[in-house]
Each structure stands twice: as structure tokens, then as C-alpha cells.
Structure 1
Amino acid sequence: MIRLFHRWPALLATVLLLVLAVSGTILSVFPAVERTTAPAPVAGQTVADLAGKVIAAYPGVEQIRRAPSGKITAYWFDGNTPGAAVIDPATGLATGNADPSALQGWLTDLHRALFLQDLGRWITAAAALALLVVALTGAALIAQRQGGWSLWFSRMRGPTAGRWHGELARVAVVSLVLSSGTALWMTAATFELLPVDEASPALPAETSGLVGLAPGDMSALAAVPVTALRDLTFPYAGDTTDVFTLTTTAGMGYVDQGTGTLLAWQASGPWTRAGEWIYLMHTGEGAALWGLILGLLTLSIPALAITGIQVWLKGRKARLSLPGMVHAEHAETILLVASESGSTLGFARALGLALQEVGGSVHLAPLAAYAPDRYAAAKQVLVLAATWGNGDAPVAARGLDARLAATPPHPRAKMAILGFGDRSFPAFCAFAERLDHAARQAGWSMLLPLERIDRQSAQAFARWSRDLGQVIGYPLDILHQPEMPRSTPLRLVSRQDYGEALQAPTAILTFALPQVSLRDRLAGRGFSRFHAGDLLGILPVGSAIPRFYSLASGTADGFVEIVVKKQSGGLCSGQLMDLEPGQMVRAFIKPNPGFRPDRSKAPLLLIGAGTGIGPLAGFIRANRGKRPIHLWFGARHPQADFLYADALEGWSSQGHLASLNTAFSRTAARQHVQDRLRTDADRVRHLVGQGARIMVCGGRDMATGVRETLAEILAPLGLCPDQLRAGGRYAEDTY
């Protein structure tokens, strides 16, 4: 529901909000320009002194105004000819034209009313209301996405457009709420929909009847500093009953033109003071720096619109629907999907279509729409859930395991859960496992034991569908071939070989950065933007299943680099190890945002062994800010498989690497990286005590050993890797 209230006001008001955002941003510059170009104020000057100087220069002066920016404007008549000018308070003389520029006037009319007067004000008010709703619902969606308000500023993950949309929103949400809320207040004040204070004091019943006292000699005006002035209106010439009308930041009063005394005074009420603050917060007039900041933040609206539309279009493209799909209340099969890249959704659609073909009624929906009280006719609820990263749920399904555990089950329907993942990752199908545990905890009866699909295996899915069909009484045998990701040819430009002496051939393979289309560059897709630690998917010849290798380079390096070890019987590693410079492979980028260094200046501890040094080398290479990075690296022999040895020496001399700590298992010392960590335990504890982040990359067994060793080392600090992981200070990339 929150998502609907966020999406539709944004989509419907997009063009109007873009017009208001751009015009508002340009208008925010004018108060700053006015502030810098206004004549310098005179220290300690009073209204009496200013009025005396102006009337001496322009005897027919009728009004003096001071803008919040400090600009002073006088209006007069010279005979029957009106005049107006910006005044230098030091001399009372004109220094410039009082009229606003034609551009400023045009933009103001556009921004306030779209050149449509009152009708336009109502339209812009509706746009402001839409913006307020979008900002508040967007804040709620970010909290939901991050796992709670307490994690509002935690690292944001997910596809590029959605992540940028969320990052921009986190920065701009306060300014958008202020801009829209103050705009609504000002519109309400314009149409007199708000309470008002007493506008002015009662006119005095009697005056002195005297005239001729110079404003510079009036005690009431001498008591008011120019910095507090808003407006001074002179009495009509020759009218002994007329008075000076004085408006200041504190209120409004009348001054006798013959004696210079204050005849009546009305202090500004709370609504007046609030209105002035609202005006300042919205326009920046009187606070030029704030106006510029607000204008720049408001300019985030076009960026939010672009990324928001990208997210919406992507969502529509992958919208969960089936031809002939029925409403949830009438479906006997509820099919719920949690998919990160969309591949799991393809399996769900294939299952839904197969069920429809044999006469079943199906409702397909995202797992986030889970609501068993709506499934009146359901006989079975089928959940297809992907796991990505280090056992993470897809972004749109975060927290669904807890919600499943806390929601009463359907009174009649049974559930089956099918997990999708990659067995090469240690947390294979971990999210599906959490869902299965939560369903059993909530009291669901399960149709089948939890099954896991490795790397989108069509054969494994066909076997599961047959088992499901036998249980629910439908003949199912679904062979679904997932759509292959769009790949790009990569040309090998160089290779460095290691490990032959140890019968463990390993190579650093460097590919040329491919040409990227303008469309992909603007969208940030594929090889237009990647980081060390992201995954390079290689499509081996003769297989439809990609293999993934951690990248040792980023876009800024100008090449694509991975580290490969030849595996016994390995199809992809064998083909890669046979590559010669100039030959090609087909590949694609899979972002891995969970394994990237944060942007802090805290020490970074990198721990790896064997080919796990690949992304760690990429992090060191990219450390142009010379953050203190400490590397612990384990290999077999320094002469055989010390990967990146020369590069690490160069990075150390350049300040990219603070310390290098090695362990070799085929030398006399016979050390593994865990042993070297124990040797350096005091230094590790010291660095962690300084707020260090730890990143581990390598084989699964190595990572387990490192985790256990660090638990021992950090115990005196009352810390362990799991606590560091919860705080965003520990990350693993294992295979």
C-alpha cells in the first residue's frame, strides 16, 4: 500500500514537479545574488538616520523598504513622475534599478502559478502535496528496505537504478519535505485558509496635528536599527492627521509626524512570525546560503524522477502476471516469488502456466504481498525464493522470513518452498532455508521438504515439479530453460602464470575493456560501471550455465582482470587456462555490492589465500586515497604462487598498502594465513579497536578457519566476527 501511495503521485506529477524543481532551483540563486550585490550596510545605523538621508536626496519619498537580504529600496514622486531605486544606506542615493529582472519575474510567475493566477496556485499546491506524500512514503519505503529506521543510513544494496534512487532520496528527503510543506503553507496563507494575527494596531484617535519634524530627529525612528526595518511609509504631504507607518521584524506601529513619538504598536503574533519563517525556509530570502543549499537539494527531483521511472519500467517489465491469472481470493494455487535478477520469476511463470494448462487456477504475486487471510479458495501456497550475496534475501523480500513466522497460517492450504541459489557460495539457498524454518514455526503444513535449485538447473526444477504434481494431483513435468544474460565478448590481452611447479596451474588473466554503448553508459549497465569484488560471469563453450569469478579490477583501471586456478575436470577453468592473448570469451558483469570496501578512513584488513587475492588486489590498486590497508595473504610457496608479488611491492612503495603479511605452507615455516594472524594478534586487536573493517576472500575452508581464529583473537575485546558483520565491519567472499 505504501508503495502505491509513493508510485502514483510521483508518476502523475512528474512533469509538473520537474518544472517546479528547475524553476525553484534557479530562483534560489537570486537571493544570493541580491545579498552579494546589495550596498553594504552601515554599522549601527537607525531608521531615523536612513530616512533622513533618503528624504534629503529625494524630498518626495513615500516609502522605504528593506528586504530580508538587506537590499533597501525607496519609492518617491518627482512632481507627477514616480521613481524607485535601490538605495545606498550610507548616502541615501540610488545605486541601481529597483525593478526585478524580467527573467526573475517570469520564473516567479511560472513557479508560483504556472502563469495561470489562482488556478495555477491550486495546481502547484496539488503538486506540492504530491511531493510531500512521495517524500514521506519514500522515507517509509527506505526504512522498510533497510530493515528498520535504525538502519536508515546503513549500506544500501540492490540494482543500480534502485540503489541510486534510494541514496538520493536519503540525502534529499528532508529538503523535499520542507519545500513541499512550506509551499502548502504559503498557498493556504494566500487563500486565507490559515488563522491570522491582528493585522495592524488601531489608528490613533488623535495626533499632535503638527508637521515639519525631520525624520532624522524622530525618537521612535531613532530607537529602531535599520537591520530590523521592513517598511517605512511616509504620511501624505500636508495632511496633519496622517502618520508614519513603521513595520519591523517585531511588529507594526504609527509614529506622529510632528513629535516623532510612537502613537500605537502591535507586536507580531505567532502566525505572523511563523509565516515569516516559512517564507524564509522556502525562498531563502534572508538566508542566501540556505536558499542555495535548498535549491541544490531540490534539483535532486529530476534525478529521482529518472531513476524512479527506471525502477518503475523495470518493475513493469518484470511484473508478476500470467495470462488468465485470477485474483488471490479465487485461486486454488498461490504462487509467491522472491527474485533479485528476475531468473527465479521465469521459473515461477513456467510453473504457473503449467498449472493453468492442467486446469488449475493460479495467482502469481511477489512474496512481499504475502497475506494468507486473502487466500479464501487456496489449496496450496508455493514459494520460489532466490538467495544472493552472503545468504541475503532479494531487496524486495527483506524481513519476509520474520513476517512469515509471525503471521498465522492458512487454515486449510499447505505450503511448499523451493530455493534458488549457487552451490559455490557457502550460504547456498540460505534465505529459502530461513523461510522454511519460519513457515514451520508459524504452523504451516508442508507439501514437500525444502528443495534447492543450483544455478538455475532446468533438470532439478523438472524433478521438483514432477514431485509437486504427484502431491497436488496434477501431472507436471516442466522443462524451463532460463534466459541467458546478455554477454559481451572479451579479448585477452595478457596473462601471468603461476603454480606449475606445484601442479596447481594458476593465472592472472587481463582482458581489454570492451566498448560500451551510450545507452548502457547512461544506465550504468554491464561493463560501463563495475568494481573490484564484483563478479565476472563467464559463459564456457558447450554450457548454458555461467561460472563466476571475482574481479580484480574496476572500470577506472581500464581493463577487466580475474585470477583463475585450473580445477580438475573444470570446464570453464580449463577453457580459461587454455586462452592465449588475442583470443575471446563471452562474459557479463554481476554486481556484488556486499563485498566492497566502505568509504571510511578506518583501517582495512584484507585476508585471503590463493586466488582469493584477486578482489583484494583490486581494492589495494584502487586505494588512491591511501587509506591504511593491511593484507594477510596465504599461498604455497613464494617462488611458485605468490600472486601479484611485484605489484604488491609497488603498491607498498606508493602508499596504497600499509603492510603486507604473508604465510606459505610449502616452506620450512609451514604457515597458513590463520597462523600468521595468530602471530600478529596484538596488531589485529589494535587495528580492530581503531574501527577497522575486515574483508576475507578465498576457499570456504580457509574462510572458516580465519573466522574461528579471529574469534579467538578478538575475544579479549568482547568482539567476534558475527558482531563485526552485524555492524557492517566484516565481509566474506568465498567459494
Structure 2
Amino acid sequence: MIRRLHRWPALAALALVALLSLSGAALSVFPAAERIAAPQAGAGLTVATLATRIQTAYPGVEQIRRAPSGRITAWWFDNGTPGAAVIDPATGQGVAPADPGRAERWLTNLHRSLFLGDAGRLAMAAGAAAMLVLSLSGAALVARRAGGWRHWFARTRGPRAGRLHVGIARLVVPGLVLSSATALWMTASTFDLLPDSAAAPAFPTEVSGETGVALDRLALLGDTPVAELRELSFPFPDDATDVFTLRTDRGAGYLDQGTGALLAWDDLGGWARVSETVYMLHTGQGAAALGLVLGLMALGVPAMGASGVLVWRAGRRGRGRIRANQPARRARTILLVGSEGGSTWGFAATLHAALTEAGHSVHTAPMSAFAPDRYTNAERIIVLAATYGNGAAPATARDFLDRLERLDTAPAAPLAVLGFGDRSFPAYCAFAHAVEAAAAEKGWRELMPLDTVDRQSPQDFARWGRALEQVLGIDLELAHRPVQPPTERLTLISRRDFGAEVQAPTAILRFALPRTTLWQRLSGAGFARFEAGDLIGILPDGSPVPRLYSLASARRDGFVEIVVRKHPGGLCSGQLTALEPGDSVTAFLRRNPGFRPGRRARPLILIGAGTGIGPLAGITRANTRRRPIHLFFGMRHPDSDFFYQGEIATWQAEGRLARLVTAVSRGQRPYYVQDALRGEAAEVARLIRGGARVMVCGGRDMAAGVADAMADILAPVGLTPALLKAEGRYVEDVY
């Protein structure tokens, strides 16, 4: 509910809210500039002295005003000709024109009313209301994502656009709430929807009838410092019934122009003070520094709008198109999807369409939207759960297990769980198994046993569909055709071959960067933006299932590079290692934000064996800031598969690589990378105690051996790999 409340006003009012924020940010500069440029009154200067100086310079003075910035402006008539100027209080002389500049007037009218009068004011008020809704709902979403308000600044993960969106929101939401709420107050005041807050006593009916009192005989003016003045209006010439009108920070009153007596006075009330505070908070008049801060916060709105659109578009692309999606309260089948890269949504769309065709009312949503209290008519709940990384919840399933745990009782509708994964990974469908275990512990009835789909297999999915068909007693055909992400053609420009001597042919393949469109460059889609450690999907000829390889280069390197070992009978690896310069392959990019070196300057411990050196080499190549990197590299033999040997020597000389430790497994005495770690146990423990980040890349057996070695190394200092993983300081890219 909160997510929808946040999403749709943002999309509907994006242009208006962006215009409101940009014009407000521009206007926030003027109070500060006015404060700097305006001559300021001395500490002991009284209103009587100031008025006397101005009247001496301009005998026909009619009104004197002091702005919250301290700027004093006077208006007068000189032989029937009106005049106005900003006044230097030390002399009473004008020093600058009184009217605001053309740019300030234009921006003010744009910000207040779009040059459309009252209709424009109402439109901008609607924009302010949308901004308030977005700010409050966005704050609730950030807090929920962070795990509570106390963790407001907790580290976020996920795609860059999402992290940017949340990061900006954390900084600017308080200012946006303040600006939008005060804007609505001021609009309500403009349309007389709030009580009149002006301090103005009734005009006196009895005056002395005399004129010409000297200003220094007006006791109240002599007792009022200029710092408290707001406005002093002079009597109309030759009108003995008129009076002086004085407005100050304390209130307003009238003074007799013949005797100087105070005829009436009203103190400034509480409501008036609230209204003036609201005006100050919104405009920055009287609080220039606050105005600049709020202006800077307002600049975050266009950035959040752009990043929010990117997040929304990515979500729509990833989810696929769910036709005839029924509301949750009316649906009899609830279909929940946990997906990281988006492929599981394609299976969900196929299942949704088949169930709908069979006459079922189906509601499909991400697992993160799990809300059993809304499933009032549900007869069954089906969960399609992919696994991210080493058994973690995918992007659209975060908080599902926490929500399930918080339930007092399990949902009444029975549950079926279908896991999606890759059997070559050690944590095959681990998240689906975790969902099943949590459901069993909660006492959730089972619709059918847990089943799995390996490598997005349409055959596995169809087989599971036949089992579901039997349970539901309906005809159900799940003929799923995987929809691949947009692909590019990559042309090979060079290759280097290794490993023939140890019967492990391996090649470092370097491809030219594909051309990118303007939209791709702006949105980061395709190959417009990538880092070492991201994944490239290769579609081999004769197979609809892509193979993923870790990138050994970043966009800034100017090429796409991977390290590929030819596996016996391997379809994709065989085709890749057979490529010659000029040949091309079909590929797509997949982000891997969980495998990043981080932005801090603390040391990195990079651990890899064989082709696992690829992303670690790319990270080292990008280390232009000379962050301490300690690389542990396992190979079969230095004469056959010492990948990047020449580059590593250069990186050491340039300071990009602080230390290299190698392990050779085909020597006279086999020595693996985990053995090398144990040999450097004291140094490794010292680095980790100092905040070092560990990154492991390679085969699952190697990664398991490294984890065991790290457990032994860290035990004496009270740490474990699991604890480091929880802190985000131990990450793996395992295959």
C-alpha cells in the first residue's frame, strides 16, 4: 500500500514537483544575497532616528519597511512623482533600487502560480501536496528497507539507481516535508482558509486634530530599536484625521501625528507568530542559512525523480507483463514471486496466464508484498522463489521471511513453493528451502511438496505444472518460453591462450565495447555502465539458456573482457574458446552489486584461483587511488596458467597492487590458495582486524577451502567468515 501511495503520485506529478523544487531552490538564493548586500542598521539605532534621517533626505516619505533580512526600503512622493529606494540607515540616503530584479519577480510568479493566477496557485498547491505525500511515504519505505527508523542511515544494497534514490532521500526528506507542509499552509492562508493573523487594532476615532509633531518627540519610536521595526506609515499630508501606523515584532499600533500619543495597540498573537514562522521557514526570509539548506535539499527532487523512473522502468522490465491481474482481496489464487534478475517473473506470467485461462482469479505480486490479511478469498498461495548469491533472498523477496515470522498464525490457504536455481551452485534453491522450512515451523498447510526448476528449464516447469494440475483438478499446460534480456553483438578484438600444458585450455578474451544509445548512456542500460565483477550472459548457439561469466573489466577500461576455461563437453566454453579476432557472440549484461570492492580506502584481500582471477584483475586494474590490495592467486603451474602475469608486475610497480601471494597446485608439492592463506595467517588476521574487505572468486570447492582456512585464521581474534559476511566484509562470486 505504501509503495503504491509513493509510486503513482510520483509518476503523475513528476514534472510539476520538479518545477516546484527547482524554482524554489533558485528562489532560496535571494534572501541570502539580500542579507549580504543590504546595509545593516547599527545596534543602538532607533526607529525615530532612522525616520528622521530618511525624512531629511526625502521630505515626502510615506512609508518605511524593514525586511527580515535587515534591508530597509522607503517610499516617497517628490512633487507628485513617486520614488522608492533601499536605504542606508547610517545616512538615510537611497543606495539601490527598491524593486526586486526581473529574474526574482519572474521566478516568484512561476513558483507561486505558474503565471496563471488563482488556478496556478491551486496547481502548485497540488504539487506541494504531492511532494508531502511522496516525502512521508518515501520516508516510511526507507525506514522499512533499513529495518526501522533507528537504522535510517544503514547501508543499502541493490542497483545503483535504487541506492542513489534512497541515499538522496535520506538526506533531503526532512527538508521536503518542511517545505511542502509550509507551502500548503501559505496557500490556505492566501485563500482565507485560516484565521486572519494580522495584528491590527481598530482605527482610532478620536485624534487631537493637530499635525506636525517632530519624529523625535514620538516616544514609542524613540523606544523601538530598528531591529524590531517592520513598517512605519506616515499620515497622509494635510489630513489631520490620519495617524502614524507602526508595526513591530511585538505588535501594531497608531500614534497621533500632533501629540505623539499612542492611540491604540495590539500585541502580536500566538496565531500570528505561527504564521510568521511558517513564512520564514518556507521563504528563508529572516533565516537565510536555513533557506539555502532547504534549497539544496529541493535540488534532490529532480535527481530522485530521475532515479525513481529508472527503478520503476527496471521493475517493469524485470516483472514482465502480468495480464488480468486481479486485486488481492478478490483473488482465489495468490502467486508470489521472488526474483533477482527478473527471469522468474517470466515463469510467473506463464503460470498466471494458464491459471486465468482455466477460470481461476489470480493475483500476482512480489514476495516482499506478502500481506495475508488482504487474501480474504484465497484458496491457495503459490510461491516462485529464486535464490540470490549464496542462499540469500532475491531483490523482490526481501522481508518475506520476517513478515512470515511476525504472523501470529499461518495463513489459512495452503502453500506450494517452487524454487529456481542452478544445480552447479552449492546453494541450489537454498532460499526456497528456507521458505519451506519457515512455513513448516509456522504450521502452514502444504498444498504440494517443494519442487525446483534447474537453470530456467521449461521442461522442469512443465513437469511441476502437471503435478499442480493433478492437485487442482484442472487442465493446465505450462508451455513457458524464456524471454531473454536485450542483447548486443560483441566482437572479439584479441585473445591470449593459456593452460595447454596442464590440460586446462583457457583464454583471456577481449571484446570491443558495443555502441550505446543516448538513452542507454543516461539510464545505464545495456553495456553503458558496468564494473569488474558484473556478469555477462552469453547465448551459445543451439541453446536458449545463457551462461554467465564474471567480467574482468569495467566500462572505463574501454573493452569487455572475460577469462574462459574450456570444459570437456561444455557447449558455451567450447564455442567461446574457438573464437578468433573478428568473430562475434550474442551477449547481455547483468549487474552483480553484491560483488563490489566498496568505496572505502581500507585494504582489500582478493582471493582467487584459475579463471576466478578475472574480476579480481579488473578490480586491481581500476585501483588508481592506490588502495592497499593483497592478492592471493592459485594456479596449476606458473609456466602455463599464470594469467595476467605481465599486468600484475606493472600494477605492483604502479602501486595498484600492494602484495601478491601465489599458490601452485601442480608443483612437486601441491600448494593451494587456502594453504597460502594459512601461511600468511598473522598478516591476514591483522588486515581483517584493521577493517579489510575479503573478496573470493572461483570454483565452489576452492571457496569452501578458503572459508575453512579463514575460519581457522580468524578464530583466535574472535571473528568468523559468517560474521564478516553479515557485516558485508566477506563477499563471494562462486561457480
Which consecutive residues of structure 1, in runs of 5 or more, have no partner in the other structure?
none
Cα deviation digits, residues 31-81 of structure 1 (max 9, x gap): 344344434665765545543432232122222222233332111121322
The offset of 1:336, in angstroms, is 2.6
Equivalent in the alignment of 1:659: 659
Cα deviation digits, residues 666-699 of structure 1 (max 9, x gap): 4567543333333433333333333332222222
What SS does the aligned partner of 1:31 have?
Answer: helix
Superposition map of 1:289-328 within 5 A? 289-312=289-312
Alignment-mate amino acid for residue 502 of structure 2: L
What SS does the aligned partner of 1:662 have?
Answer: strand
What SS does the aligned partner of 2:448 have?
Answer: coil
CA contact (8 A) 1:383 1:415 kept: yes
Q: 1:473 to 1:230 in 2, by over 3 A?
A: same
What SS does the aligned partner of 1:525 have?
Answer: coil
Alignment-mate amino acid for residue 172 of structure 2: A
Cα deviation digits, residues 301-338 of structure 1 (max 9, x gap): 33433444454456566778766666656655433323
CA contact (8 A) 2:339 2:386 kept: yes
Distance, in Å, in 1 between the alignment partners of 2:207 and 2:682 is 88
Q: 1:42 to 1:512 in 2, by over 3 A?
A: farther
Cα deviation digits, residues 230-260 of structure 1 (max 9, x gap): 3333455577887655444455566787898
Q: 1:562 to 1:312 in 2, by over 3 A?
A: closer
Q: 1:171 to 1:622 in 2, by over 3 A?
A: farther
Equivalent in the alignment of 2:489: 489
Q: 1:384 to 1:496 in 2, by over 3 A?
A: same
CA contact (8 A) 1:418 1:432 kept: yes
Alignment-mate amino acid for residue 454 of structure 1: D
Q: 1:230 to 1:714 in 2, by over 3 A?
A: farther
The more displaced of 563-572 and 114-123 is 114-123
The offset of 1:594, in angstroms, is 1.1
Equivalent in the alignment of 1:470: 470
Cα deviation digits, residues 254-286 of structure 1 (max 9, x gap): 678789898987664444443333223222233
What SS does the aligned partner of 1:447 have?
Answer: strand
Distance, in Å, in 1 between the alignment partners of 2:210 and 2:686 is 85
Equivalent in the alignment of 2:648: 648
CA contact (8 A) 1:490 1:513 kept: yes
Equivalent in the alignment of 2:690: 690
The offset of 1:560, in angstroms, is 0.9
Superposition map of 1:269-668 within 5 A? 269-312=269-312, 332-358=332-358, 360=360, 362-372=362-372, 375=375, 378-407=378-407, 408-411=409-412, 413-667=413-667
Q: 1:249 to 1:631 in 2, by over 3 A?
A: farther
CA contact (8 A) 1:145 1:395 kept: no
Cα deviation digits, residues 338-392 of structure 1 (max 9, x gap): 3333321222232233345555554444434444455566543221122233433
Q: 1:49 to 1:615 in 2, by over 3 A?
A: farther
The more displaced of 668-677 and 236-245 is 236-245
Alignment-mate amino acid for residue 649 of structure 2: E
Q: 1:268 to 1:547 in 2, by over 3 A?
A: same
CA contact (8 A) 2:510 2:562 kept: yes
Alignment-mate amino acid for residue 701 of structure 2: D
The more displaced of 141-150 and 485-494 is 141-150
Alignment-mate amino acid for residue 564 of structure 2: V
Distance, in Å, in 1 between the alignment partners of 2:179 and 2:58 is 40
The offset of 1:589, in angstroms, is 0.5
Distance, in Å, in 2 between the alignment partners of 1:611 and 1:164 is 32
Distance, in Å, in 2 between the alignment partners of 1:709 and 1:253 is 84
CA contact (8 A) 1:320 1:366 kept: no
Distance, in Å, in 2 between the alignment partners of 1:514 and 1:160 is 21
Equivalent in the alignment of 1:91: 91
What SS does the aligned partner of 1:637 have?
Answer: coil
CA contact (8 A) 2:319 2:342 kept: no
- The number of equivalent residue pairs is 733
The offset of 1:591, in angstroms, is 0.5
Alignment-mate amino acid for residue 579 of structure 1: L
Cα deviation digits, residues 709-728 of structure 1 (max 9, x gap): 33333334433222222222
Which consecutive residues of structure 2, in runs of 5 or more, have no partner in the other structure?
none
Alignment-mate amino acid for residue 396 of structure 1: T
Equivalent in the alignment of 1:704: 704
What SS does the aligned partner of 2:126 have?
Answer: helix
The offset of 1:192, in angstroms, is 4.6
Cα deviation digits, residues 563-607 of structure 1 (max 9, x gap): 222223222222222222222121110001111122223333322
Alignment-mate amino acid for residue 16 of structure 1: L
Distance, in Å, in 1 between the alignment partners of 2:375 and 2:595 is 39
Cα deviation digits, residues 619-650 of structure 1 (max 9, x gap): 22222333333333333334433322332332
Alpha-carbon RMSD: 3.4
Equivalent in the alignment of 1:723: 723
Alignment-mate amino acid for residue 53 of structure 2: K
1:11 aligns with 2:24: no
The offset of 1:546, in angstroms, is 0.9
Q: 1:272 to 1:392 in 2, by over 3 A?
A: farther
Q: 1:351 to 1:237 in 2, by over 3 A?
A: closer
Q: 1:82 to 1:177 in 2, by over 3 A?
A: same
The more displaced of 326-335 and 702-711 is 326-335
TM-score by length of 1: 0.89
1:677 aligns with 2:664: no
Q: Between the two proteins, what is the percent identity of the paired residues?
A: 57
The more displaced of 173-182 and 376-385 is 376-385
Distance, in Å, in 2 between the alignment partners of 1:733 and 1:366 is 26
Alignment-mate amino acid for residue 442 of structure 1: K
The offset of 1:445, in angstroms, is 2.6
Cα deviation digits, residues 524-574 of structure 1 (max 9, x gap): 101011111110111122221111111121111111111222223222222
